[in-house]
Structure 1
């Protein structure tokens, strides 16, 4: 059974109040960052994985399967520049976002995995392998 564990434990001491005052504003390292928020549902004969990838386009996302491991990677590059009339830079910024996430997909029929990307959410339907039941066998007595 899973226990509910908070992301961060804070003591409610009198002098502890201002220690965390600027955490949200400065994006403190105490706040945990998930590469992409992922929900996985068991729908009986398949799993449905939904990964939130805001800011990425479909062309920037790759899903690779090797053995029993599925790896989701996404990479986004953005360049913006402003020049004056003489062609000198007034401002030039470069930004790159990338993420990688791996999943154990043992028990999944990898040949039938389907994926779609809409409104920043990658949805993957991953059918389970069919259980092979041993056939009844008659044993002859000698």
Structure 2
């Protein structure tokens, strides 16, 4: 009886792992889209350059005036929303196919280290937003020798 119970529990554990893997794959692919709101979560890269973090955010089709960035010591929020004029122009168009529909972008990034938000800089070039943020002194790594 004990052997049969163990086999059942192992089967349940395998099933649970498979369900978790399936959901993880699903959310990895589709959580970036909030279709009902016309909002897209942009793709990002974060680069550690010793003294600073550099964050790259794909924001195709937006001007710098349509982008808002908020930086705290441990996070960055990037919002981009098309202006009312652009929304009006797009509504007047007669699309045959429309797959690139979005009104805005939103991304909140939790940073791996503390930074100095007051010294953050950003620039937009070719649809890629680059944010540079110096690390906080407290965030720097120091090697300690064992005595």
Scaled by the length of structure 2, the TM-score of the pair is 0.55
Query: Which residue does 2:69 correspond to in 1?
Result: 63
- Structure 1 gaps, min length 5: 10-28, 82-90, 133-142
8 A contact 2:73–2:116 mirrored in 1: no
User: Which structure would you say has the larger RCO, counting Cα contacts within 8 Å and 6 or more residues apart?
Assistant: 2
Query: Which residue does 1:41 correspond to in 2?
Result: 47
- Calculate the aligned-residue CA RMSD, in Å: 3.3
1:99 aligns with 2:105: yes
Alignment of 1:92-131 (within 5 A): 92-93=92-93, 97-105=103-111, 107-131=114-138
- For residues 122 and 99 of structure 1, what CA distance do their matches in structure 2 show? 12
Structure 1 residues 111, 57: CA separation in 2 closer, same or farther (over 3 Å shift)?
same
- For residues 73 and 48 of structure 2, what CA distance do their matches in structure 1 show? 21
1:32 aligns with 2:30: yes
- CA drift of 1:119 comes to 0.7
8 A contact 1:79–1:93 mirrored in 2: no
SS of aligned partner of 1:79: helix
**Structure 1 stretch 110-119 or stretch 123-132: which is displaced more?**
123-132
Q: Which has the higher strand share?
A: 1
Q: Which has the higher helix share?
A: 2
- CA drift of 1:70 comes to 2.3
- Structure 2 gaps, min length 5: 1-20, 33-40, 95-100, 141-147
- CA drift of 1:115 comes to 0.6
- For residues 107 and 64 of structure 1, what CA distance do their matches in structure 2 show? 15
Query: Which residue does 2:87 correspond to in 1?
Result: 78
**Structure 1 stretch 106-115 or stretch 49-58: which is displaced more?**
106-115
Scaled by the length of structure 1, the TM-score of the pair is 0.57
- For residues 67 and 8 of structure 1, what CA distance do their matches in structure 2 show? 31
- For residues 102 and 30 of structure 1, what CA distance do their matches in structure 2 show? 16
The total of aligned residue pairs comes to: 100
